[in-house]
Amino acid sequence: MENKPKWLWKNVDYDKYQWHVTISTIDSTIESENVDEKVVYIEDLEKRRQAYGICGECKEPGTGEYWCQPCNAKRFKDNFKNWTSGNKDIDEFIQQSQLNVVHYYKCLEWIPFEKFQNITYIAEGGFGKIYSAEWPEGNINYWDIENQKWYRYKDFDKYALKSLNNSSDICSDFLNEVI
């Protein structure tokens, strides 16, 4: 019998836990009277298991609802060769974001312009032009372990697109401002 990965995630009880882990920059062993019980720190494997369940592939606790940071980082990395914005700094910015993302809500994607439909000009601002558009595919929501592909969810009917003036000159300094 083939040992296929299985869906082992839990539905998050938002009254009890937050959507995704918190990456602590300081020691997360804070005095107990100051601890928000909803906070799930990345180092707390047992609380992650209770809050999010476990990944059906690597069997490690999730880092967010239906999200395994290590497995999804590998998927993103394997896909880096299949896309480019045409700007090395932007590509590296998106790639670093994808390698570190702990939940779909924090995930950046490069979406080729051709994937948008019904693009409508709205206005011009100081830095470029603004458009509205539809994106039928929708954003990544989680890895569908049974079908081995991203499950996408269309959050909105319309998305805002911004065409930046001199976008070919975007550099890492600009992206540091974005961060």
The 10 Å CB-count burial string (b at 16+, else e) for 59-80 is eebbbbbbbbbebbeebbeeee
pLDDT per position as a tens digit, 59-112:
999 999 999 999 999 999 999 999 998 888 889 999 999 999 999 988 999 999
What are the residue ranges spanned by the domains of the chain? 32-178
In the block, which residue shows the tokens 């592939």? 57
3-52: pLDDT as tens digits: 788 899 999 999 999 999 998 765 545 555 567 899 999 999 999 999 99
